[in-house]
Structure formats: C-alpha cells, structure tokens
Chains A and B, each alone.
Chain A
C-alpha cells in the first residue's frame, strides 16, 4: 500500500511543503529513508517504530520505503516523525479514514508515543496558511505560539494514539482557540527605566532621538560611566511592537528555539547582547542547521555591542550588509538563506585602550599611537552607518545622590511614539519605516533645507572640519529632531543639535 502524508519543512524563515510518501511491500523487513534528510531525519525511523509499537499499534513486518519529497531539498530536524508514523499506519491500513490527507502534521515522537515540541512552528503555520492549507496538527507544547494564527483549524495533540483515534473519528478534538495580540502585549514588564539613571542628560537625549528615528548609536566613555545601563534602558523607550512585527520576531525566535513556550509570542522588542568572543557565524546565522544568528534575533529590536572595538574586525565588518539592507544573506554550500535583520545598533566603546582618555577624574596612560590605533579599529564604512556618536562620562558621587527627579521612560516614549507616527505617515506606501533608513531620493524630498540652513550647514562644515560623509547623517538626524518637535521644516537649531552628535567625525578627537 502507498500513502501520502503532508508535512512542512523550513528553509530560512520560510516553510515549504514536504510530502511523506510511504510504500509498504513484502520482503525483508526494513525501512529505507530517502529524500535528503539529515541525521535527525535518518534516525527518525527507530523512534517511529518504537512509538507505533508502544502506542498499541502494530508495526508490520514488511519492507518500507519512505520518501520525503521534494527529493532535492535538504530536510532537517525530527519534526517529520509524526507524519511518518501516520504514513506507516495508513499504509498498513490501521488508519482507515482518508481524512488525514487534508492535514499537515508536525511533531517529534518519543519512544513511548508522546509528541514532543519542535522548533519553528510559527513560521511553518504562516507559510502553510499563505499556501492555502487549512488544517494542521501540532504538538500541544507548541500550542501557545499557534494561538495567534487565525483562519486555520489547528489541533494540538500530545500523543500518537490521540492522533490516530482522531483520524479514525473515534474521538473529537477541539480546535485551538485564537488569542489576540493586544491581550498578551499589555502584560506588565519590568524593564529598566530611565528615571533610575542620574544625570547623563546628553546621552539620554541622544538615545531618545535614536529611538524616534531608528538611528544607530555609538556611546563613547570611560569604564563605569553607565553605557550598558543606558543601553538597557533604551528598549524601554522604543515604540511597541505591532502584531506584524511581533510575528516576524517570533518566527525567527521560533526557528532558533529561543521562544518562551508559555507565552508563545514575543511582545517586547528583542535586546541582544552577544559577548565579544562571539564568532562570525553565531552573529550572522548559518551553520549546519542554518540557524538565525544574533543579528537576526535582534530583528525589530536592539543589538547592543558593548566594547565595540574588542569584537573581531571580521565580525564588525559583517554588520555592513544588515545595517544597510536590513537583511543578511548567508550562503552555504547546500543552501542560501536570507534572514531579516533590521535592528538598531547600540555600540559602546572606551575612548582609548585604558579607557580614561578625556575622563574628568582619571588620567589616561595611553600613547597617542595607541589611542589612534584603538579608534581606527572601527572602519570608516561601519562608522558611516552610525548616525549618532555621544560621549558619556562618569557622574560624581553628589550627582548620584541627587534627589532631583529624572524623567521616566514612559514620557520619553510618548514623544518617541509621536515622532514615529509622523514618520509612518511620511513613508506611507514605501518600504522605509524610519528616518534612519531614508533613501537618497527620499532625503532630497523630505530633508529640504532652507537657504539659511544651507548656508549655516556650509559654515559648520568648514569651521568644524566635518568630513563629507557626515552630511547625510546629519540631515537624517536633524529630520528626526524636527519630528520630535513636530516641526515640518528642518530649522537651524535642529541641524546644530544633529552636528553635536558627530563627535568622531571631528578633528578635535586626535
């Protein structure tokens, strides 16, 4: 007998249909597994065999050929096991109904027949839905992430016996109920709040602008000046994730197996802080199982690179494409995968190897050559993609105990949200979402300077010896500052403020 059961595989963050064909013939008892499966797929046959037996069904003493079509695409992971089991059972006529043909099966089997959670359920469901499939069976451990998908009949099951009885119409399963995103996202979170950060007015303002316009930030300051603390507070002032964004983020995290299964969906912007020893592959993604890397996990959120120059040069350079296009394409021998990776980069660094250059209360012991070498570890093209440079310095003990109340994140966020609304309107029907990602023609249109402003800009460039590459960055940041104030035109004061965030372009730094 021959049976065909549907399942889904993953390539990058997109799912593709996999048909599991099972052929049962007489002959020497054996299972042949074909269709470019990886080791996990090859090992599936033993798990399937035991699971079938231990669920109270018969495993026929016959020769089986199981084919995973399409045969030319690599298939990874154990989530085809449920469909294989269904295939064998229907080929051996233990499942009599043809109802299974409408379903997509996803699940890993345990030897006792329990169905275990798998990675990547959400992206599979989204792909299956857009391909027009309506009915899916998934492991019950993965049910939370599936609850946000509407327009599909999703059944969550916990063991093989349950599935077979359901397919044989012996029991009735309830469809999974959908949950609304708003409900989950409103839950309280305990993020760090800017009101706990004393002083640092300039850095706070810079981060506010960065949040409002999606600009990348580089913080420069001696050790212990609160760079990491500021960065951690940053995600608290970013606009809330929309449902579409949340789905994208959840998809990526689901594939990486980093999803909180109780919650099922990611409602906060991700904040990723890979360590300085991170390898290039762990950042970009890829590897044998083409897992998304840190920069993709930071999609729609923040990538915080503390001690920026300490990362290997190679790694820093790989940030170029994602910073420019918002995607990363990982090419490997077997496959080429594109992951979304549109994030806000917050980098922090010391001004010199010892860290004290320019500090108020400590002396720097580095030679000029050392300082120069340290600063030049960040190449020009990367510097080019960072709009805002801000200096951070230690605050004094008095400031620390200062009773003055600092502004809290909520009110900063209110301003940020307003500025984002203006941008959403501005970039309606385009692929741009924020000022930071404006294309050159868009800049020409939206960052028009009055004659007065142009003259001032020229003066500023010659007086302050700004490098030419700073020009576009300044315009983009000035646009955001104007948006924060609700101004339609960019005014001189916006430009001047934007210039003040170009510290490293300035020659005073040598």
Chain B
C-alpha cells in the first residue's frame, strides 16, 4: 500500500471532510505518512483538533495492525490511487477518496443498475421490486442498492435468488451494518457480490451518511429504477444525484392515492423520470438480451386454475379467494402453499396472495 493511501485511511478513520482531503492530497505529492504529518500542508488545512486526532490515531503499531486486521477479515481498501477504483466514480465532484470493499471489486466495471426506494413498501411495491430486480439481474445487469429495509433489501434478495450479481453500498462500517437485521444478507452479498462503504469498519451509521451513501449508488450506476417511494423518502437524494450526474432515472407508476408512490408518480408527471411498465422497457433501453419468456409450462390442477383466474386482477386476500372459489378452507390452504412452493404465487403480509 502506498504511503499516501495509508494517509487516506487515517483521514477516513478521523472523519476528515472529503474536501479538505482533496486539497491536501493535491498538494502533497510523494511524502511518507511521517513526513506528511510534519509538513505545513497538513498543518494549514486541518484544524488543531483534527490534527491532534490524526496524530493520536497514528500510533505506529496500532495503525499497522489495524490494517492487517482489516485485510484478515476480508476487507479490501480501494483508494483513488488504486487501479481497482471504479471508473464511474473518478470524475464525480464529491467522489469518495477511499472505499472499503468486501467481495468482488470487478463487478464495478460491469453494467451497474440501481434499484432504490422506500423503506416501507406496500405489497404492490414488494411484488414489482422483486419482479423487476429478478428480470434485470437475469438479463445481465448488476443490481446496486443500499442494503436498507424495504425496497433495498428486496432488490438484493431477489437478485441473489436468481443467481444474479449485486452491489450493496452501505452507510456505515462493515462491523455495524444498519439495519442489523440485514447482517446475514450482507454476508451473503459479500460472498456472491460486493459490499462497498466509504466508512471504516467500526463506523456507525449517522443520519447524514445515508444521503452521502446515495451519491455513490447514483455514481456507480448507469441508471436507477425507483419502484416505489414517498416524497419524504431518502430516495429523493439518490434521484437528485442521479439527475446531477446525468444518469438515467426510471420510475414505476403507482396508485395516485398511495402515499408510497407519491415520488414516483411526480417524477413521471414532471418528466424527470422515464416511466417504465415492464422490465423489458429497461432491458431494451440498454440494448440487452431479453430473457426468454417461455416459462416452463406447469401443470395446474382445476383448483389452482380457479385461484390463478381470481388473482389475475391483482392481489387478493384469503377470504376473497375462499368465498369466490368455493374451495373448502383446508384444500385452499394446502393448494396455496403448493402454488407458492412451485413459484406460481407469492404470499404477502395480511394473508394476501398475488401472482408472481
């Protein structure tokens, strides 16, 4: 690791503002960390408090052992001086100078596509996010999202389910995954995809780190898709960054009365986002291969066909199915489970069922 890269690690641990770091490394050139710490450039640009913090954290042995510790736990440090640093981020104005990575860094060179949205999706949001993420991943896009609750987690899970590649950009360090419930998901992504963070491992997520994380999501991707988001959602930031960086923004329309679709509907209304109705719209946009539509034709029983017919107009709850299909409860229950296992339908909270 180059000396200047070590300095960046040191800065990121001490939470030095990105802009100050940019100014310092521009002036610094090839100095060792020790020399740098004694040079005027650093003294001039950092406040006394910050300087003391940096010096304190650079107790030589501790710092080196921390670096080896990180290496041992599979964390790779990628700075702007590294060849692995994503090309898509290099020219952004507020680029992250350092990225901590777990997983396959080469994914950043592939065609990345963001799927982001509300943390509290409706059942509609769940279904379409899953559907779009699966189809997009199968057509070869790398699905990027933020490993948060809701749409993020659904997009990651759906991608992993179909064996696709996914990148999670997190707003905290690796040892403090937020939300903690997604820790297992994070491990899975680290194995089959990539997790990125601009914060050192022990860093805890703070309110301001979420919007900052979103600029990396927007920066990495060729375009982003917003399946469902409300006006107060953090997705607003991702959308703004994406528009700033000149990326493509896609949105899926929702019910005009639904609070969780307010943002997407407005984006479409004002022409800020491309309206998409099917994953093929995006696949065509990027000129990718459509996934073959032939679903393996499944044999369905009479009861199952009745249920499929009833679900054709959207999600329905158990009581509706029971009343309209005239199938006895016990048979209906086992029928629905079978169909779920065979991947025909999906069960949602509130004993709702929907076709996949």
A-side interface residues toward B, CB under 8 Å? 199-202, 204-205, 351, 357-360, 363-364, 367-369, 372, 391, 393, 395, 399, 456, 459-460, 463-464, 481, 492-497, 499-500, 506, 508-510
Contact = CB atoms under 8 A, between A and B. Distances in A.
Given A202-B319, A459-B341, A500-B337, A493 B331 contact: yes
Interface residues of B, number: 32
A358 B352 contact: yes
B334 A393 contact: no
Contacts of B351: 202, 391, 393
Contacts of A391: 318, 349-351
A356 to B, nearest CB: 9
Given A202-B319, A399-B319, A508 B330 contact: no
A201 B329 contact: yes
Contacts of A499: 337
Nearest to B318: A202
B347 interface: yes
B45 interface: no
B246 interface: no
Contacts of B333: 202, 205, 496-497, 500
B338 interface: yes
Nearest to B120: A368
B74 interface: no
B329 A496 contact: no
Nearest to A463: B341
B329 A460 contact: no
Interface in B301-356: 317-319, 322, 329-331, 333-338, 340-341, 343, 346-352
B212 interface: no
Given A201-B329, A351-B349, 20 more contacts: A202-B322, A202-B329, A351-B350, A367-B119, A368-B119, A368-B120, A369-B149, A391-B351, A393-B317, A393-B319, A393-B350, A395-B319, A460-B337, A464-B341, A493-B330, A494-B334, A496-B335, A500-B333, A508-B349, A509-B349
5 contacts: A358-B350, A372-B179, A459-B341, A508-B346, A508-B347
A510 to B, nearest CB: 7
Contact of A497 (B119, B149, B337): B337
B101 to A, nearest CB: 26
B330 A205 contact: yes
Contacts of B61: none
A363 B334 CA distance: 29
Interface of B: 119-120, 123, 149-150, 153, 179, 181, 259, 317-319, 322, 329-331, 333-338, 340-341, 343, 346-352
B318 A357 contact: no
B97 to A, nearest CB: 31
Which of A391, A399, A500, A506 has most chain B Cβ within 10 Å? A500
Contacts of B259: 363
Interface of A, secondary structure class, is: helix
A199 B337 contact: no
Contacts of A363: 259
A185 B350 CA distance: 40
Contacts of A369: 149, 179
A368 B121 CA distance: 10
A464 B329 CA distance: 21
A357 B349 contact: yes
Nearest to B123: A358
Contact of B347 (A360, A393, A506): A506
A28 B344 CA distance: 94
A368 B349 CA distance: 14
A496 B338 contact: yes
A358 B126 CA distance: 12
B259 to A, nearest CB: 7
Nearest to B336: A500
Contacts of B337: 460, 464, 496-497, 499-500
A273 B317 CA distance: 30
B318 A201 contact: yes
B137 to A, nearest CB: 18
Contacts of A496: 333-335, 337-338, 341
A495 B350 CA distance: 22
Nearest to B148: A368
Contacts of B340: 463-464
Given A391-B351, A393-B351, A508-B349, A368 B318 contact: no
Contacts of A202: 318-319, 322, 329, 333, 351
B317 A360 contact: yes
A508 B130 CA distance: 12
A492 B149 CA distance: 35
Nearest to B346: A508
A205 B334 CA distance: 12
